[in-house]
Amino acid sequence: MKIHILGICGTFMGGIALLARAMGHEVSGSDANVYPPMSRQLEAAGIRLSEGYAPAHLKPAPDCVVVGNALSRGNPAVEYMLDAGLPYTSGPQWLAEHVLQKRWVLAVAGTHGKTSTASLLAWILEDAGLNPGFLIGGVPLNFGVSARLGSDPFFVVEADEYDTAFFDKRSKFVHYRPRTLILNNLEFDHADIFDDLAMIQRQFHHLVRTVPGSGLIIAPEADQALHEVLEMGCWTRVERFSPDARSEWHPAQINPDGSGFDLICHGKRAGRVEWDLNGRHNIANALAALAAARHVGVTPTIALEGLASFKSVRRRMELRGEVNSIRVYDDFAHHPTAIETTLAGLRARVGEARIIAVLELRSNTMRMGVHAEQLAASLWAADCVMVYTPPELPLDAERVFADLGERVQLHASVADIVAAIGVEAQPGDHLLVMSNGGFENIHQRLLDRLAASASVEG
């Protein structure tokens, strides 16, 4: 079958392309921005990429067009596809029909931690010898790819609540029909498509309705929004986890930075892990993954061995480089809760060393100012904060960050941020860059500037 994917360089759609190619299909795709690292993964798999959305990319006609949710009416390729009567479907629907049928699906949903938890779970199963398939919205460093078919029966999928396509406004995750479901947490997000938290809760309950009675739902002990979701109706056994309180899955004897803990499973100590991650949010992610792995037969003792060898995920507190004892990290945080927990984890690890936080307000929700009242407080653990505030940013950044006082700097260009950090950074500092986009390659530009400064000083 010849498949053409519109929006192929997004992490999810790129994963669909890799899975389709592994199944023997002839795959091509187009995107407004064909860029690495996804473009390299796709080209290495023998997938032909085209820049832009010209109708010519759909000639000769493919057997099926898979449409990403970033595409909308008015797009030249979409309009041609509809006018020509080409067969089309969404990425989630294609995944459900061609990959997930007859497989034991382990889905990871929630506002935060989906990518990390799904990566943890896939690696635990892999380390236990189960060879799972997976589709994850990031690149787990243990695997080096964001998607693979694996072998029957297990498939791990990051279950996103964002809408499916321009012709299917349901959340992506309602297509997956998991047998094991992790609900990590739930807060208001995606203000561009949801009016309020209740709308998101309704979508989460649609997901809960698809889990069989013989399955398992894994949920946090103290998340009120998720409690309300399950109170709408639940027909599946629920196990609870908590990094802070007693529950069926909780830690004990936690290292101050979260880099080690004992696992307590159903009242009994199952073992201890020392690992490369830090922060209580990552402990919560690990607890959920451990519970899901146990549901498919991996004992906690074996699962802890997988945790110990887990290498994290690209763009999740990823160390991009070190120059003159100044470390530069890349993190995907783009919501006040994620920003706060990421900074708390780094602070616990580095103690009193200086942290310079660099933030891009890139997501639609952040740009709309939905979380404006929480932003300053979420950055409190940083010693210095630099915020990218281009002229087109539709919020009053001076007002939003006023509570940070002299600790905050607002910069209208990435070049200005790089120059300011070149002056500000000192040996021993930790530079934490937070954005859910490419941020104009700021990480490498910072490393280059720091190297140049070190060379001059030397």
State the Cα–Cα distance between residues 115 and 312, nearest whole angstrom: 10
Prediction pTM value: 0.83
The CATH architecture assigned to 102-308 reads: 3-Layer(aba) Sandwich (3.40)
pLDDT of residue 427: 92
pLDDT of residue 279: 82
Q: How many Cβ atoms are within 10 Å of 106's Cβ, its own excluded? A: 30
* 304 has pLDDT over 70: yes
* 114 has pLDDT over 80: yes
Which segment of 191-200, 262-271, 363-372 scores lowest on mean pLDDT? 363-372
Q: Which residue type, as a one-letter code, is found at position 159?
A: A
pLDDT of residue 458: 53
Overall average pLDDT of the 35-48 stretch: 82
pLDDT of residue 78: 98
Give which of 352, 333, 435, 449 is closest to 388, Cα–Cα: 435
Overall average pLDDT of the 64-83 stretch: 97
How do residues 174-193 score in pLDDT, each as one tens digit?
999 999 999 999 988 777 77
pLDDT of residue 60: 95
pLDDT of residue 401: 87
State the Cα–Cα distance between residues 433 and 333, nearest whole angstrom: 9
How do residues 218-276 score in pLDDT, each as one tens digit?
999 999 999 999 999 999 999 999 988 789 999 999 998 888 999 999 999 999 999 98
State the Cα–Cα distance between residues 237 and 424, nearest whole angstrom: 53
State the Cα–Cα distance between residues 255 and 278, nearest whole angstrom: 9
Q: Which residue type, as a one-letter code, is found at position 244?
A: D
More confident residue, 297 or 317: 297
Q: Assess whether the region 2-91 and the region 318-457 belong to the same CATH fold.
A: no
pLDDT of residue 384: 93
Overall average pLDDT of the 378-401 stretch: 88
Q: How many Cβ atoms are within 10 Å of 95's Cβ, its own excluded? A: 26
pLDDT of residue 280: 86
pLDDT of residue 337: 81
pLDDT of residue 92: 97
Which residue ranges make up each domain of the chain?
A: 2-91, 102-308, 318-457
Overall average pLDDT of the 86-115 stretch: 96
Confidence label for 33 from pLDDT (cuts 50, 70 and 90): confident
- The secondary structure of 159-209 as a DSSP string is ---SEEETTEEEEGGGGT--SEEEE-------TTT-SSHHHHHHHHHHHHT
Round the average pLDDT of the chain to a whole number and report it.
Answer: 91
pLDDT of residue 37: 66
Overall average pLDDT of the 368-375 stretch: 72
How do residues 435-448 score in pLDDT, each as one tens digit?
877 788 898 899 98
Task: Output the CA–CA distances (angstroms, integers) from residue 252 to 85, 126, 244, 310, 429, in the order listed.
Answer: 59, 26, 9, 20, 31
Give which of 4, 12, 14 is closest to 54, Cα–Cα: 4
* 113 has pLDDT over 90: no
pLDDT of residue 369: 62
State the Cα–Cα distance between residues 355 and 430, nearest whole angstrom: 5
Overall average pLDDT of the 316-325 stretch: 86
Q: How many Cβ atoms are within 10 Å of 174's Cβ, its own excluded? A: 19
Which segment of 40-49, 189-198, 400-409 scores lowest on mean pLDDT? 189-198
The answer as to CATH 3.30.565.10 being correct for domain 318-457 is no
Task: Output the CA–CA distances (angstroms, integers) from residue 229 to 45, 109, 199, 203, 285, in the order listed.
Answer: 40, 13, 11, 9, 20
Between helix 336-350 and helix 280-295 the angle, nearest 10°, is 110
Q: Is 126 helix (H, G, I), strand (E, B) or coil?
A: helix
* 335 has pLDDT over 80: no
Task: Output the CA–CA distances (angstroms, integers) from residue 331 to 90, 100, 315, 339, 354, in the order listed.
Answer: 29, 30, 5, 9, 17
pLDDT of residue 245: 77
CATH class of 2-91: alpha beta
Give which of 26, 29, 18 is closest to 53, Cα–Cα: 29
Q: Quote the tokens at residue 83.
A: 């006018």
Which segment of 4-18, 36-50, 197-211, 422-436 scores lowest on mean pLDDT? 36-50
